[in-house]
Structure 1
Amino acid sequence: MSAAPLPRMAAVLGLAGLLPQIAAVLATFSEADRFIGLAAGYFYAALILSFLGGLWWGVAASRKEAPEWLYVAAVAPSLIAFASGIPWMNGTTWPGPSLVLLGIALLLSILVDRALFQLGLIDKNLLGLRLILSPGLGALTLLLATR
Structure 2
Amino acid sequence: MSIVRHIPTAPLVLGLAGLVPFVWGAVTILNPALADWGASALGPRFVGPYIQLFYGSVILSFMSGVLWGFATKTKGTRAAMGYALSVIPALWAFFMTGGGPVSAATNLMFGFAGLLLLDYAFSQWGLAPRWWMRLRLILTAVVVSCLAITIVY
Query: With structure 2 as the length reference, what TM-score do the two structures score?
Result: 0.79
Output the amino acid matched with 1:9.
Answer: A
Q: Which runs of 5+ in 1 are unaligned?
A: 88-93
- Tell me the equivalent position of 2:27: 26
Deviation at 1:68, TM superposition (A): 2.2
Equivalent residue for 1:112, pick from 107, 118, 140: 118
Output the amino acid matched with 1:8.
Answer: T
- Tell me the equivalent position of 2:40: none
1:42 aligns with 2:53: yes
Quote the Cα distance in structure 1 between the aligned partners of 2:143 and 2:98: 21
Deviation at 1:54, TM superposition (A): 0.8
How many residues get paired? 137
8 Å CA contact 1:54–1:74 kept in 2: the answer is: yes
Consecutive aligned runs of 4 or more in structure 1 exceeding 6 Å deviation: none
- Tell me the equivalent position of 1:59: 70
- Identity between Structure 1 and Structure 2 (%): 30
Deviation at 1:29, TM superposition (A): 2.5
Q: Give per-residue Cα distances to partners, 1:31-68, cap 9 Å, x unaligned.
A: 46387311111111111111111100111134326442
Query: With structure 1 as the length reference, what TM-score do the two structures score?
Result: 0.81
- Tell me the equivalent position of 1:11: 12
Task: Give me the CA root mean square deviation.
Answer: 2.0
Q: Structure 1 or 2: larger helix share?
A: 2
